[in-house]
Structure 1
Amino acid sequence: MQECFYLDPYQTRLETSVVRHREGGVVLSDTICYPQGGGQPGDTGTLTLPDGTTLSIENTRRDPESGDIVHFLPDNAQYPRSGTPVVVQIDWARRHRHMRMHTCLHLLSEVLKYEVTSGNLTAESARLDFNLPEGEELDKQDIETRLNCMIDADHAVIMKMIPSAELITQPDLIASMALPPPLDKPEVHLVEIQSVSLEPCGGTHVRHTAEIGRVAVKKIENKGKRNKRVIIAFAEE
């Protein structure tokens, strides 16, 4: 399967075919739908059959055993047969917000140079949890100002691939990850925000930071003695 969302995260339509169906959904020969993972939701959209029938893609996930990307359809859907040509269309407005928010979280982790313990995002908001020295506090307005300054600088964002064996020789890259890297795969995806950061990440991102738009720090929450949760949202919300 060709995972086209890595080749071009801006591709919104794809002609492909059904390989097989399994409980809950179908596996396609190629896909533009990003599977849920790394804190980023799976894509939604539509699957159009040759007769014009349109089925809703309600979620996209990767099967942990087979590695297949499964496109989940409504419970009452009549699944297309293997070999059926289909057209996939993603919910681009939703995906683009995920791309903007995901890229912004990378900037947030550079504004706050602390260990990231977890993160999550939606089309409306996102958050990162940071492990701070006990008693240290965060300034909400300062974070927002610095974050928007990095966005406005319009840094280029570039996706790269390196062999997993090469990643092992670069402990600084591994240390930047909240979760262990997938070293069982031959290659690992990297995201570089030029002049800002380089780290492993398998999500989708915008091409330039200015595309993110203005953001606001909505809340800073205590999650234990050392953990602080920083919640951000688009400023237009």
Structure 2
Amino acid sequence: MAQTEALFRDDAYLRDGAARVVGINDRGGILLDRTMFYATSGGQPGDTGRLTREDGSTIEIAATVTGETKDEIIHVPAAEQVLPELGETLQLAIDWERRFKLMRMHTACHLLSVICPFPITGASVNEADSRVDFDLPDANVTKEDVTIRLMELVNGNHPVFTRWISEEELESNPGLVKSKNVRPPRGAGRIRLVCIGEEAVVDSQPCGGTHVASTAEVGEIHIGKIEKKGRENRRFRIRFGSLPAS
């Protein structure tokens, strides 16, 4: 099994760089020794972009996924792409405009979980319309009120950063995990936290995704809709831009 150095875990702002081909799987997926392409996980879709070969030709990447483990990152070419050779050095470039929207949205989802401190039952990060589902029997909140509180956090320009803790530290502080049904993967000995605010005063939770460096970079967002999904489930939809006039 090939392991890839996941550069995005330490620097979400890397847009391009060089990497060496270490494997091609039986479906034509490309494995590299290192990558800034984020692989689909935790509700955030994987990156798209292109790989440029030594002869100048390009390979369009339609998706990035994980293999048997989170450390096996597979770059999935679009249809009818010529595959590179093992050992070849490629120049990588992600679709930065798309990635940055996903980073902004993912951070917004974390902010929403601060405003709505209820168990999370599901989430999906997308470029224009993301969602977070909460175990919330009585939704006595309005999209207008939640939007105001979201924008207060955004405009607070709070720093967003990551740090690592041991699995034992997570066990001793189970409140860090906000998901009702999903737990962070174990076995690596450490857990990555995404923190918001000085000394993580706003939020701290396990997450492997990519985020902006400051809440101000999220920009203007609003809650487009609060939907009832079952007896004890409410779905909050986050969208870019200001709240439309009712």
TM value normalised by structure 1: 0.95
| Aligned match of 1:165 | 168
Describe the SS at the equivalent of 1:220: strand
Structure 2 residue 238 is the aligned partner of structure 1 residue 232: yes
Residue 105 of structure 1 corresponds to which residue in structure 2? 109
**In the alignment, structure 1 residue 190 sits paired with structure 2 residue 196:** no
> What's the CA shift for 1:127?
0.6
Q: Work out whether 1:119 is the aligned partner of 2:123.
A: yes
SS state at 1:58 partner = strand
Structure-1 residue corresponding to 2:34? 30
8 A Cα contact 1:47 1:86, kept in partner: yes
Q: Report the CA distance shift for 1:232/1:136 in structure 2 as closer, same or farther (over 3 A).
A: closer
CA–CA distance in structure 2, aligned partners of residues 97 and 74 of structure 1:
22
> Aligned with 1:36: secondary structure?
coil
Q: Equivalent residue of 1:86, what SS?
A: strand
* AA aligned opposite 2:152: C
Q: Work out the CA distance in 2 between the residues paired with 1:165 and 1:136.
A: 35
- Indicate the SS of the match to 1:104: helix
Aligned 8 A contact 2:28 2:83 in 1:
no
Do structure 1's residue 177 and structure 2's residue 179 form an aligned pair?
yes
Residue 167 of structure 1 and its aligned partner are, at CA, apart by 1.7
Q: Percent identity?
A: 37
> Residue 42 in 1 paired to residue 78 in 2?
no
Structure 1: runs of 5 or more not aligned: none
> What stretches of structure 2 of length at least 5 have no aligned partner?
none
Structure 1 Cα separation of the partners of residues 106 and 60 of structure 2: 25
How many pairs were matched up?
235
Residue of structure 2 equivalent to 1:7:
10
Alignment partner of 1:207 is 2:210: no
Structure 1 residue 91 corresponds to structure 2 residue 95? yes
Say yes or no: does 1:145 pair with 2:151: no
Corresponding letter in the other structure for 2:121:
T
Give the counterpart letter for 1:3 in structure 2. A
Counterparts of 1:136 and 1:61 in 2: how far apart (Å)?
A: 35
Question: How much is the aligned-residue C-alpha RMSD, in angstroms?
Answer: 1.5
What is residue 219 of structure 1 aligned with on the other side? 225
User: Which one is further off, 164-173 or 4-13?
Assistant: 164-173
Q: Shift of the alpha carbon at 1:64?
A: 2.8
Aligned-pair CA distance for 1:173: 1.6
CA distance in 2, matches of 1:15, 1:89: 9
2:55 is matched with which residue? 51
Which stretch shifts more, 199-208 or 178-187? Answer: 178-187
Structure 1 ranges of 4+ moved more than 3 A: none
Correspondent of 2:134 among 125, 130, 137: 130
CA-to-aligned-CA distance 1:43-86 (integer Å, 9 cap, x gap): 00000000000110100000135841000002322211110010
Alpha-carbon shift at residue 6 of structure 1 (Å): 1.1
TM-score by length of 2: 0.91
